[in-house]
Amino acid sequence: MSEFSDDFGLAYIDSCDQLTVLCIHGFPFSSAMWEPQVEDLSGVARVIAPDLRGHGRSEAAPGPYSMGMLAEDCAGLLDYLGIENPVVVCGLSMGGYVAFEFYRRYPERVAGLILASTRAKPDSDEGKAGRDAAIEKAKTQGVTAVAADMLPKLFSPQTYDEDSELVEFVEEMMEGTSLEGMTGALQAMKDRPDSTPTLAEIDVPTLIIHGADDQIIPLTEARAMQAAIKDAELIVIPDAGHLPNLEQIDAFSDAVIDFVDSLTEDDHDHDHDDHEH
């Protein structure tokens, strides 16, 4: 937040010079999954959370989709909003796959990365076969059938047993995905490139967040990313599965707030240095 301008001579508050955090949802969710963080980050950062094509309230654009397309959609949204300064890109699961693609295409637009519940590796052969089976199931039995298969695996066993309101919220969010969005995203995930070589190239501050009980992407994947990205920090959230931002809201939001604070403090340090030189 800007509080004083030497150039202009009047003090002022401008919340729009806050760092932007671009929150990219996972599969098959929507921006609704970021509602707690939109609230928790208000006053700290500007949060932009798109519904990826075919998801949430965005148009059910016909496939095929690719990670490149999803990353371009995100860049297009930032352009549309006139956001030219580098942003923090926060991607959860499939959103992380998009974040890697965004970083490869637009490293200069990225101030920091938050990689939540995600992995760098591409799909294994078995994983690819699973995508084909899910595409077939979505086409023949509908998106609700795929959502029903995923639902119990998305949470820690404790969340699943005890937080029926959250489980229902996530189920409804998944069922709001269009058939085009679901099959397009499954195809894009199946075809996504290996992001492992990207890890060594990342030279922005990076925070990795992972639920200790993630049944979809094991914690070992997060540890592997941490080992390969220079100076990356890993926060493991206890009692959380694949959706730590919803299962342990405070722990997740606090981690993001601390990360954003560390980036803005760095900015102030640089400003200070500039004045001294």
Q: How many CB atoms lie within 10 A of CB 257?
A: 17
CA angle 79, 204, 190 (to 5 degrees): 70
Closest C-alpha to 85, from 111, 65, 60: 111
- Residue from the set 61, 75, 83, 216 that interacts with ligand MLT by CB under 6 A: 216
- Residue from the set 189, 222, 251, 260 that interacts with ligand MLT by CB under 6 A: 189
By C-beta, is 117 or 226 nearer to ligand MLT?
117
251 touches 196 (CB < 8 A): no
Shortest distance (Å) from residue 26 CB to ligand MLT: 3
By C-beta, is 32 or 44 nearer to ligand MLT?
32
Closest C-alpha to 205, from 255, 252, 241: 255
What's the CA gap between 126 and 69, in Å, rounded?
Answer: 25
How many of the chain's residues bind ligand MLT (CB under 6 A)?
7
- Residue from the set 21, 26, 87, 174 that interacts with ligand MLT by CB under 6 A: 26
Helix (H) or strand (E) holding 77: helix 67-80
147 touches 171 (CB < 8 A): yes
By C-beta, is 151 or 216 nearer to ligand MLT?
216
Chain residues 55-94 in contact with ligand MLT, contact rule CB under 6 A: 93-94
Shortest distance (Å) from residue 186 CB to ligand MLT: 8
Q: What is the torsion angle, in degrees rounded to the nearest 10, for the CA atoms of residue 46, residue 51, residue 52 and residue 55? A: 160
Shortest distance (Å) from residue 96 CB to ligand MLT: 8
46 touches 18 (CB < 8 A): yes
- Residue 67 identity (one-letter amino acid): M
41 touches 253 (CB < 8 A): yes
Residue linked to tokens 């085009």: 180
Shortest distance (Å) from residue 44 CB to ligand MLT: 25
- Residue from the set 23, 27, 159, 226 that interacts with ligand MLT by CB under 6 A: 27
Chain residues 103-132 in contact with ligand MLT, contact rule CB under 6 A: none
By C-beta, is 26 or 184 nearer to ligand MLT?
26
- Across 120-151, b (16+ Cβ under 10 Å) vs e yields bebbeeeeeeebeebbebbeeeebeebbeebe
What would the x/- binding string for ligand MLT be over residues 131 to 170, using CB under 6 A? ----------------------------------------
Shortest distance (Å) from residue 88 CB to ligand MLT: 19
What would the x/- binding string for ligand MLT be over residues 229 to 258, using CB under 6 A? -------------x----------------
Shortest distance (Å) from residue 91 CB to ligand MLT: 9
- Cα of first residue to Cα of last residue in the chain, in angstroms, is 24
Q: Which residues bind ligand MLT (CB under 6 A)?
A: 26-27, 93-94, 189, 216, 242
